[in-house]
């Protein structure tokens, strides 16, 4: 089947304007470099207002930096991900691939002015971000030539698996389902026991539920401005 | 905010009248004795003023900004399987836009020069000339019910399950567009989809889903164009896969030989397992269901007959069966499924129930055509722990208290 | 009226760029380089500003007042089978109302004291507690295409066929409500349905359609409540039967032993046959189809590939097949039917077409599961003449002129 | 299956308030009477503004009166329904059942004040309407006692058939389909000939069609403010 009249060849210039993605194998990464020192300037001018001076803010988003150790840089596994008492997870605790940071900052940051950074600025600020976490030295100059070495120091680079059943198709994983249940119909479980519920003081925390249900219906909304009935 | 007519619900009784009859019957209302409004009062109509409580809502404190945030669909007030487009859940990472469709373009290219024989650019006019299909599919955020992984966190089904919607999508199978450009599908086993908004959202999608015809480049939603909040004028439809892959404001498709590890597949939408390892590229939304009526935050005003109603879905195909328990999972009855029961679509179920006024624990449990049975929290957490955020598809429990008030609870 | 962004369409070209590329690609637009709008900008969202041309409309001069009138759905701009509720066609006889659902009541009684054991009154709360079903059905006015019985009268498919819409309806089978009241179905072979508006519209419906479970007392439409223009909070759904029987603002059901000859079944919605006799109680909407794209009033900007798309339906069940001709009915090809193909619902069809730039006469012809084949104007008029007004279900012809402009024509 | 808690018995008063329908066999018709003379007063005060002094107006709706003859009153068939040159059809040319008029005027007229007429007024104005067409004398007093006689004079009382295939169920008609077609696939019809189309002067009669189509699409709307291209 052909489709005469539909579509036309993309020009090289057009592809260059839009094909900005950078893959884990660095395909798509433009040549260039930027220093962590320059990155600090950019960070403080264009990023810190939202992410905090040390990337620690959770004012507009969860912290970018924190929770990784020198040991993690060696092992490639962020140990605190296994610490259930550690609150929250920072970006650097999770991200396995430095390309992801580069690509995302390049396409989407600063949040209110995406795609406004030069290639040098993206290298620089990425380097600075990593330097805050001790992944690269404070005077590091990151470039297309040495980015693979940075990758080899990413704290959570070994922290991912694709060995599961939730990827469609055969290109990854392909494991059978991990969770098993059976559709028992009669006398299935023990006496049910309520283990978790909202405390009464949180009753109105999502607003008055009477105003979040239709005026008529099989059930109406509970007036949560009043004590439970 | 609710309008004048949309305030708190008033308990409506239907008592046997003492004085001969209900004044709502005996005194004819104005609408029975007068002349109403003309046609085309609204060229594009709106819901009744009395429906002002039926709104999508943010969950207080869930996100720190409203442009990288989510609004939840009011499942407690919805019927059937079609989500009204005005109530479709929203998830933006860098805000939404109303994009001029006459200036919007779709580009197809390859990760290297050999991958796509003829990279191409399409206008909306051209895309809309290509063979089109229309299909009902659910879209669910991978983080739907995520707040409840550890314990009960929110009061109503709007917040527990409201990051799901279902629409009839119309568009062009991506396969047709790729065929038109000439793709090396031997090497090119992945697709990168990219949006035109500030986030220029990117996600990796397996070529198998393109080849089997299920991935659509869609412009239509429930009979009209996509809504701006949902990607007008073009979004990818990736049936059964989490919503973040359904790239909005779609501007580019790249065919590649490797996955892309985009921010939302290497930092988010990754599932933290016990032991600290994350699962990456967890795309499929598993078999799941929830009772929407009665549900948390509602009040049963009476004993007696009720219709228990809810929704079931699976990213792996059709729903085969839904069972309902009113005793916290000890005993189950099989619900009626409303037709049509469609592939990777919502399915509405209903079942009779007579409430005796005693506490009841209402649950639903779906089984899909792959045979997979929706698990309990116990079964799910045993394997995946409590910190995953994503892919919580556990059985939901609603406690009906003696007062008639319904609470969100989790059982041990 | 169309807004600023909704004016006349601009021909959109996609030329091979001379200066290296399309400025819409090379110069990144504001939405690619900025931060968009927050979630819940609208708790109940609206279509894009660029969709302002997609409106329901009156046909100039068709009726003398706007409260006893009709507005037509813009079929030329719709996709799939779901009609967005804001664009659902309207037909009012005494204007529309936004009725307070907490004061609305449904009464069931008999034409005599023995017909219904226990006449009853129900509140909306109570009706919504009863077993509910959700089903997709079309609703078509008996007078749809009526202006075209004699000859071509209107330019676009909005006016030729726009008195049809299709929704997912949710409600209670009327049978359940009648069973609850105790009905003598041996004598009571008819139902009278009555509305609460000024016209208090009444229509007779056969008990068979109640008994087979297809008649619904509906409150839900496309996931939300019915729109005020469509009978909020309660309307009858009578699948396959003309829209006037789908009584809006439903206040009363009477069970009777004889038909009622209401105004809209004894003065209107009667079909004038050659010879001057009228057919009365002509309720079923027969098998019909229409191509919606391309259709009258549109312009093809180019030769080349096009997707011909349209709608088919039958009041007698499912659509079995749709054939399409581009040479005025000499040769036909069978179109693809989009799934689901449902009982007494719209079915969307699509078929490939390469336009060579010469005049073409596009037609579609539906066959339903009863085996009935949609007739030509010649076949229809031979039996029913040209003055019937109602039940025109002839094959529609669109002439594509060399200029690309599409015209509504009838063939001899 | 029972449905405890749903619905309650309707009272006699409630049924009386809403059960207002009147059938062709006059079931539902309240006792009472009204004169055509009184009907004329009501007509001129409450109806003529919309329907015209003689029921002939088509300002707000098609004419109610006209087109019936004394001969029709005898035969019960309105002869002009078979006259293709006769423009339009009035209400009295079509309506076979006097109950229909009584019921509809009682429930829905005057249009802007439905259900405001007394039973006597409905009898009266119905009688007047029929007197204008010569169905009843000008001094006729119509009542529940003589309405059957009026029915026997309705001009189109024999003008209806239910002997067709468009009533669902078996209580009427039940005929097989009258129109027959076959789904021919190849070389089916003769050379197609366009027999009817809109004249060019009517091109813009429904407004500019360019503004009635989406801005983008496989086809756009024709600019009908310009001559055909
Ligand atoms: C106006 C606020 C703002 C500014 C300025 C800003 N950011 Fe962000 N940043 C955000 C928000 C909000 C997100 C989360 C976006 C989302 O949800 O997809 C984010 C996400 C990120 C992320 C991904 C974190 C994760 O875990 O997903 C990185 C990396 C980042 N920003 C780096 C930067 C850099 C570098 C700069 C400056 C060049 C910058 N940001 C400027 C608000 C801002
Ligand atoms: C304000 C305008 C108005 C007034 C006053 C009015 N009518 Fe009407 N009448 C209408 C309209 C408009 C219709 C058509 C309604 C519809 O389409 O269902 C109508 C319909 C009718 C019909 C049915 C005609 C048909 O063929 O369907 C009758 C009979 C009738 N009117 C009688 C009366 C009588 C008797 C009165 C006074 C007691 C009256 N009307 C006052 C506007 C009016
Ligand atoms: Ca072209
Ligand atoms: Ca440092
Ligand atoms: Ca690339
Ligand atoms: Ca009655
Ligand atoms: Ca009750
Ligand atoms: Ca006279
Ligand atoms: Co999400
Ligand atoms: Co109609």
Residue-by-residue DSSP string for B300-369: --SSEEEEEEEEEE-TTS-EEEEEEESBTTSS-EEPEEPSP--TTS-EEEEEEEEE-SS-EEEEEEEEET
User: In chain A, which residues fall in CATH 1.10.760.10?
Assistant: 12-151
Name chain B's partners: 3 or more CB pairs within 8 A.
Answer: A, C, D
A107-112: long-range contacts, CB 8 A cutoff, minimum separation 24: A107/A20, A107/A21, A107/B199, A107/B200, A107/B202, A108/B93, A108/B94, A108/B198, A108/B199, A108/B200, A108/B263, A109/A47, A110/A46, A110/A47, A110/A50, A111/A50, A111/A60, A111/B67, A111/B68, A111/B94, A111/B198, A111/C35, A112/C34, A112/C35
- CA–CA distance, D167 with D175 (Å, rounded to integer): 9
* Closest to B386 in 3D by CA, of B377, B395, B376: B377
pLDDT at A175: 86
| CATH superfamily, with its number, for domain C105-279 | Oxidoreductase, molybdopterin-binding domain (3.90.420.10)
Mutate to test the pocket of ligand 1, among A38, A64, A115, A131 (most ligand atoms within 8 A of CB): A64
Q: Do B170 and C79 touch (CB under 8 A)?
A: yes
Any B CB within 8 A of D2 CB? yes
Residue C357, by phi and psi: left (phi above 0), alpha (psi -120 to 50) or beta? Answer: left
At the top level of CATH, the class of D25-151 is mainly alpha
Looking at chain D, which residue has its C-alpha nearest residue C129? D6
pLDDT, one tens digit per residue, over B81-95 is 999 999 999 999 999
pLDDT at B7 over 80: no
> How near does any CA of chain B get to the CA of C198, in Å?
4
Question: How many Å apart are CA C175 and CA C164, to the nearest integer?
Answer: 26
What DSSP assignment string belongs to D71-102?
Answer: HHHHHSS-GGGG-TTS----HHHH---HHHHH
Residue B13: per-residue pLDDT? 72
Query: What stretches of B68-201 adopt beta strand conformation (E)?
Result: 69-71, 90-92, 105-110, 120-123, 133-140, 164-173, 190-195
pLDDT tens, position by position, B201-241: 999 999 999 999 999 999 999 999 999 999 999 999 999 99
Q: Which of A60, A79, A161 has the CB atom closest to B279's CB atom?
A: A161
Q: What is the DSSP string of A207-224?
A: --GGGGS-SSSSSEE--T
To the nearest whole Å, the CA of B101 is away from the closest chain C CA by 8
Name the token pair of A132: 């805050």
Which CATH superfamily is A12-151 part of?
Cytochrome c-like domain (1.10.760.10)
What interhelical angle do A119-132 and A98-108 show, nearest 10?
Answer: 130
What whole-number distance in Å separates Cα of residue D74 and Cα of residue D134? 12
Chain C CB contacts of B80 under 8 Å are 134, 168-170, 220, 222-223
Question: pLDDT class for B15, splitting at 50, 70, 90?
Answer: confident
**How far is residue C11 CA from its own chain's centroid?**
30
Q: How many CB pairs under 8 A join B and C?
A: 359
Are B156 and A210 within 8 A, CB to CB?
Answer: no
Give the model confidence (pLDDT) of D27-81 as tens digits. Answer: 999 999 999 999 999 999 999 999 999 999 998 999 999 999 999 999 999 999 9
Q: Is the pLDDT of residue A88 over 90?
A: no
ω into C95 cis (within 30 of 0): no
* Residue D149: its H or E element: helix D147-151
Q: Do residues B329 and A192 make contact, with C-beta atoms less than 8 angstroms apart?
A: yes
Q: Do D107 and C202 touch (CB under 8 A)?
A: yes
Helix, strand, coil content of chain D in percent (nearest 5): 30, 5, 60
ipTM: 0.96
Please check whether residue B300 touches C, CB under 8 A: no
B9 within ligand 1 shell (Cβ under 6 A): no
Q: Do residues B157 and B75 touch, judged by C-beta distance below 8 A?
A: yes
Please state, in angstroms and rounded to a whole number, the distance separating the CA atoms of residues A132 and A94.
15
Is 50 exceeded by the pLDDT of residue B10? no
Q: Dig out the tokens for A94 from the structure.
A: 């999770």
- For chain C, the maximum distance between any two Cα atoms, rounded to a whole number of angstroms, is 86
Shortest Cα distance, chain B CAs vs residue A39, angstroms: 20
Best CA proximity match to B39, nearest among C154, C73, C239, C6: C73
Question: C interface toward A at CB cutoff 8 Å?
Answer: 14-17, 20-22, 25-26, 28, 32-35, 101-102, 123-125, 128-129, 225, 233, 302-305, 352, 354
The pick from B263, B265, B389 for probing ligand 1's pocket by mutation, whose C-beta has the most ligand atoms within 8 angstroms, reads B263
Cβ contact, residue pair D167, C12, below 8 Å: no
Q: Is D47 in the pocket of ligand 2 (CB under 6 A)?
A: yes
Rounded distance between C-alpha atoms, residue D196 and residue B143, angstroms: 59
Phi, psi (5° rounding) for residue C235?
A: -140, 160
In the predicted structure, residue B289 carries a pLDDT above the cut 60 = yes
| Residues B203 and B209: beta-carbon distance below 8 Å | no
Mapping DSSP onto H, E and C, the string for chain C reads: CCCHHHCCCCCCCCCCCCCCCCHHHHCCCHHHCCCCECCCCCCCCCCCHHHCCCCCECCCCCCCCCCCEEEECCHHHCCCCCCCHHHCCEEECCCECCCCCCCCEEEEEECCCCCECCCEEEEHHHHCCCCCEEEEEEEECCCCCHHHCCCCCCCCHHHHHCCEEEEEEEEEEHHHHHHHHCECCCCCCEEEEEECCCCCCEEEEEHHHHHCCCCEEEEEECCEECCHHHCCCCEEECCCECHHHCCCCEEEEEEECCCCCCHHHHCCCCEECCCCCEECCCCECCCEEEEEECCCCEECCCCEEEEEEEEEECCCCCEEEEEEECECCCCCEECEECCCCCCCCCEEEEEEEEECCCCEEEEEEEEECCCCECCCHHHHHHHHCCCCCCCCCCCCEEEECCCCEEEEEEEC
Determine how β-strand B271-272 pairs with β-strand B250-256.
Answer: unpaired
Per-residue pLDDT of chain D (229 residues; tens, 9 = 90+): 799 999 999 999 999 999 999 999 999 999 999 999 999 999 999 999 999 999 999 989 999 999 999 999 999 999 999 998 887 899 999 999 999 999 999 999 999 999 999 999 999 999 999 999 999 999 999 999 999 999 999 999 999 999 999 999 899 987 899 999 999 999 998 899 999 999 999 999 999 999 999 999 999 999 999 998 6
- Nearest residue on chain B to C85, judged by CA atoms? B45
d(C-alpha B206, C-alpha A171), whole Å: 7
C257 CB-near residues (< 8 Å, 6+ apart): C111, C112, C115, C187, C188, C189, C190
Residue A215 has, within 13 A of its CA and on its CB side, a CA count of 21
d(CA B108, CA C111) in angstroms, rounded, equals 68
Q: What percent of chain B has pLDDT over 90?
A: 95
Among D49, D216, D220, which would you mutate to test the B interface (most chain B Cβ atoms within 10 Å of its Cβ)? D216
Q: Do C198 and B35 touch (CB under 8 A)?
A: yes
- CATH class held by domain C288-409: mainly beta
Q: Residue B4 — left, alpha, or beta (φ > 0 → left; ψ -120 to 50 → alpha)?
A: alpha
Q: Is the peptide bond before C153 cis (omega within 30 degrees of 0)?
A: no
Structure tokens at A151: 């990758």
Tokens of B301: 């005003």
Q: Is 80 exceeded by the pLDDT of residue B1?
A: no
Domain boundaries, chain C: 105-279, 288-409
Residue to mutate, D56, D66, D111, ligand 2, most ligand atoms under 8 Å from C-beta: D111
Q: What is the pLDDT of residues A26-57, one digit of tens each?
A: 999 999 999 999 999 999 999 999 999 999 99
Q: Where in chain D is the domain with CATH 1.10.760.10?
A: 25-151
Token pair belonging to C41:
């900008």
CB-closest option in D94, D169, D206 to C270: D94
Residue D61 and residue C251: Cβ atoms within 8 Å? no
D81 lines ligand 2 (CB under 6 A): no
The alpha-carbon gap from C93 to the nearest alpha carbon of chain D, in Å, equals 9
pLDDT for position C398: 98
Say if the Cβ atoms of C305 and A8 lie within 8 Å: no
User: Which residue, by CA, sits nearest to atom 6 of ligand 2?
Assistant: D110
DSSP-assigned letter for residue B183? B
The average confidence (pLDDT) of chain A is 96
pLDDT in the model for residue C17? 81
Q: Give the pLDDT score at A143.
A: 98
Please write the tens of the pLDDT for every residue from C254-307. Answer: 999 999 999 999 999 999 999 999 999 999 999 999 999 999 999 999 999 999
Bridge partner list, C368: C319
Q: Is D78 in the pocket of ligand 2 (CB under 6 A)?
A: no
Chain-centroid distance of CA A45 in Å reads: 23
User: What residues does C235 pair with on adjacent strands?
Assistant: C218
- For ligand 2, what atom is nearest to the CA of residue D60? 12
**Cβ-defined contact of C29 to B136 (cutoff 8 Å):** no
| B168/C81 touch (CB, cutoff 8 Å), yes or no | yes
């Amino acid at each position: 089947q052909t489709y005469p009249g539909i579509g036309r060849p993309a020009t090289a210039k057009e592809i260059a304007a839009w094909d900005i993605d950078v893959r884990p194998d660095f395909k798509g990464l433009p040549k260039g470099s930027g220093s962590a020192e320059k990155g600090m300037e950019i960070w403080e001018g264009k990023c810190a207002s939202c992410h905090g001076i040390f990337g620690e803010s959770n004012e507009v988003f969860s912290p970018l930096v924190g929770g990784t150790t020198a040991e993690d840089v060696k092992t490639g596994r962020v140990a605190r991900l296994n610490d259930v008492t550690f609150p929250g997870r920072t970006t650097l605790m999770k991200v396995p691939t430095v390309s992801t940071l580069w690509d995302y900052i390049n396409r989407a940051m600063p949040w209110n002015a995406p795609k406004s950074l030069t290639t040098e600025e993206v290298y620089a600020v990425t380097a600075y971000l990593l330097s805050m976490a001790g992944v690269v030295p404070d005077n590091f100059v990151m470039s297309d030539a040495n980015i693979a070495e940075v990758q080899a120091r990413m704290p959570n680079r070994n922290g991912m698996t694709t060995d599961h059943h939730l990827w469609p198709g055969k290109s990854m994983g392909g494991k059978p389902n991990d969770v098993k249940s059976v559709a028992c119909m009669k006398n299935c479980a023990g006496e049910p026991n309520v283990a978790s519920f909202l405390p009464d003081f949180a009753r109105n925390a999502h607003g008055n539920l009477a105003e979040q249900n239709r005026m008529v219906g099989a059930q109406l909304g509970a007036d949560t401005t009043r004590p439970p009935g | 905010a609710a309008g004048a007519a949309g305030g708190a619900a008033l308990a409506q009784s239907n008592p046997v009248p003492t004085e001969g009859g209900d004044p709502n019957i005996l005194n004819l209302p104005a609408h029975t004795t007068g002349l109403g409004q003309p046609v085309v009062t609204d060229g594009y109509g709106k819901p009744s003023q009395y429906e002002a409580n039926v709104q999508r809502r943010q969950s207080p404190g869930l996100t720190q900004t409203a442009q990288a945030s989510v609004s939840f669909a009011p499942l407690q007030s919805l019927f059937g399987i079609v989500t009204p487009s005005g109530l479709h859940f929203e998830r933006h990472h860098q805000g939404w836009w109303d994009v001029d469709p006459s200036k919007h373009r779709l580009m197809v290219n390859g990760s290297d020069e050999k991958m796509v024989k003829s990279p191409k650019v399409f206008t909306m006019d051209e895309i809309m000339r290509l063979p089109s299909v229309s299909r009902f599919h659910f879209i669910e955020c991978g983080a739907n019910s995520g707040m409840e992984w550890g314990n009960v966190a929110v009061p109503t089904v709007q917040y527990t399950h409201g990051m799901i919607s279902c629409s009839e999508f119309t568009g062009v199978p991506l396969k047709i567009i790729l065929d038109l450009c000439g793709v090396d599908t031997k090497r090119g086993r992945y697709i990168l989809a990219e949006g035109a908004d500030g986030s220029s959202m990117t996600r990796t999608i397996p070529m198998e889903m393109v080849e089997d015809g299920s991935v659509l480049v869609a412009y239509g939603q429930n009979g009209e164009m996509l809504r701006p909040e949902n990607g007008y004028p073009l979004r990818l439809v990736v049936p059964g896969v989490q919503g973040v892959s359904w790239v909005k404001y779609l501007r580019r498709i790249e065919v590649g030989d490797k996955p892309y590890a985009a921010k939302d597949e290497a930092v988010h939408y990754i599932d933290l397992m016990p032991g600290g390892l994350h699962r990456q590229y967890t795309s499929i939304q598993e078999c799941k269901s929830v009772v929407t009526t009665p549900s948390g935050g509602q009040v049963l005003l009476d004993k007696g007959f009720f219709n228990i109603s809810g929704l079931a879905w699976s990213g792996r195909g059709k729903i085969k069966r839904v069972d309902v328990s009113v005793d916290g999972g000890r005993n189950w009855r099989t619900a009626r499924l409303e037709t049509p029961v469609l592939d990777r679509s919502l399915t509405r179920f209903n079942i009779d129930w007579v409430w005796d006024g005693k506490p009841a624990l209402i649950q639903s449990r779906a089984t899909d055509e792959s045979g997979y049975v929706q698990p309990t929290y116990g079964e799910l957490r045993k394997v995946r722990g409590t910190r995953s955020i994503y892919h919580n598809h556990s059985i939901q429990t609603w406690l009906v208290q003696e007062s008639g008030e319904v609470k969100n609870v989790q059982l041990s």
